[in-house]
Amino acid sequence: MRYTGPKLKLCRREGINLFWTEKYDLSKNHRKLLGWSRMAKISDFGLQLRKKQSAKRMFGLTEKQFVSYYKKAMKMEWILWENMLRLLEMRFDNIVFRSNFARTIMQARQFVWHAHFNVNWKKVNISSYAVKVGDKIELREKMKDSPLYKTLIEEFKEFATKNKAGSITNTKWLEVNWDKLTITVSRVPEKEDFDQVIDIQKIIEFYSK
């Protein structure tokens, strides 16, 4: 079941900004260290659980969805942790977010659900859709004239160069054309592209028990 309660509460619990926006920035919050101080006192299993919960919430997934990615990654060749992170990063909604076409993963999912984008010139409204190398994502023509995007296009350019939370994953594997409002997946994300906040090793340890 997907969490629908206060997002700031989740960030405080984990001790980090899970959603990369100023709204959930803990640096100005006197309770910002609550999550980290708690982690220092818990068991190895408890730490693994917290790392898993953090990553799951950063991608906005349910437990069932997150486990399914782990199981799928296990069946693939190469390294388990790389497989899992690639599967997560190449979700349609995550790519919309990482390309700064949305302020949060939640907003990106809404945009996808409402069919704001085409993938390879076809309408796709499935947030978990697995985008592949060479795929081209474009904002649909009718959306370019909507009040929402008319006011956001300039802000998109700002988000592309400076994230207000001060940190965002490296997206060199994505090519964004702000004139045509398109995203092209140029390659699969590599180790240096993954969000360093995610402790994938702890997550694997949690599920391998």
Q: pLDDT band at 32, cuts 50/70/90?
A: very low
Residues 104 and 176 in one domain: yes
Of residues 28 and 111, which shows the higher confidence score? 111
In a domain, residue 86? The reply is no
Query: Is 11 a member of any domain?
Result: yes
Q: What whole-number distance in Å separates Cα of residue 75 and Cα of residue 87?
A: 12
pTM above 0.85, yes or no: no
Give 42's pLDDT tier (boundaries 50, 70, 90). confident
* 17 within domain boundaries: yes
Same domain for 49 and 23: yes
| Residues 96 and 150 placed together within one structural domain of the fold | yes
Query: Quick one: average pLDDT of 175-187?
Result: 90
pLDDT at 202 over 80: yes
Mark whether 107 and 144 lie in a shared domain: yes
Q: What percent of the chain has pLDDT over 70?
A: 71
- Residue 59's domain comprises 7-79+196-207
- Per-residue confidence (pLDDT) for residue 169, from 0 to 100: 42
Answer whether 18's CB lies under 8 Å from 11's CB.
yes
The 10s digit of each residue's pLDDT in 84-132 is 999 999 999 999 998 888 888 999 999 999 999 999 999 999 999 999 9
Q: Is the pLDDT higher at 45 or at 184?
A: 184
Are 52 and 114 within one domain?
A: no
In terms of domains, do 135 and 163 share one?
A: yes
pLDDT digits (tens, 9 = 90+) for 72-87: 999 998 899 999 999 9
Residues 135, 203 within the same domain: no
Return d(Cα 54, Cα 60) in angstroms, integer: 10
Count: domains in the chain: 2
For residue 57, is it within any domain?
yes
Whether residue 85 lies inside any domain: the answer is no
Q: Are residues 180 and 114 in the same domain?
A: yes
pLDDT band per the 50, 70, 90 thresholds, residue 36: very low
pLDDT digits (tens, 9 = 90+) for 127-148: 999 999 999 999 999 898 888 7
In the predicted model, is pLDDT for residue 67 greater than 70? yes
Q: Tell whether 182 and 100 lie within a shared domain.
A: yes
What's the average model confidence in pLDDT over 200-206?
93
Please give the residue that has the higher pLDDT: either 132 or 60. Answer: 132
Which is more confidently placed, 205 or 23?
A: 205
